[in-house]
Amino acid sequence: MFIERRIICTSCPVGCFMIVTEENGKIVSISGSSCPRGEEYAKVELTDPRRVFASTIRVEGGVLSVCPVRSKEPVPKDKIFDITKAVARVKIKAPIEIGQIIIKNVCDTSVDIVASRSLPAKQSADTVAQGG
């Protein structure tokens, strides 16, 4: 039996509307893609969908109370909720540097969660009084 799936490609800004036809769980045709990246996107989306994860972590002693983080690479879509829970348990001390690994190999995905920005530590009253 043939099954048609309609997906929108996100591998480039064009956003091609594609139709993927499957038979017995195997892709038999992909139409609607305007570039080769679209076909590859469709294959991966149907066999191993992945997303870049983005969130915030709590920060102790920083000029802000949270810092944005993201996955260094796309993670399996079915791990997003587990990753969300893991990130929610984390609190890190400032200062934080952009690209700093916050969680290594998050939820056994082989992907690290990294800081998306640098975040300095809050200056104490003593530091400010000393001109630091």
pTM: 0.79
Query: Which pair of structure tokens corresponds to residue 63?
Result: 């000029």
Range of the domain at 42: 2-47
CATH number at residue 37: 2.20.25
Same domain for 79 and 115, yes or no, is: yes
Question: Residues 17-64: pLDDT tens digits?
Answer: 999 999 988 999 999 999 889 999 999 998 899 999 999 999 999 999
Give yes or no for residue 128 having a pLDDT over 60: no
Of 11, 29, 47, the domain-final residue: 47
The reply to whether 41 and 63 lie within a common domain is no
Compute the mean pLDDT over every residue in the chain, rounded to the nearest whole number.
92
Per DSSP bridges, beta strands 91-93 and 101-103 are unpaired
Average pLDDT over residues 64-77: 97
Domain count for the chain, please give it.
2
Is 90 exceeded by the pLDDT of residue 125?
A: no
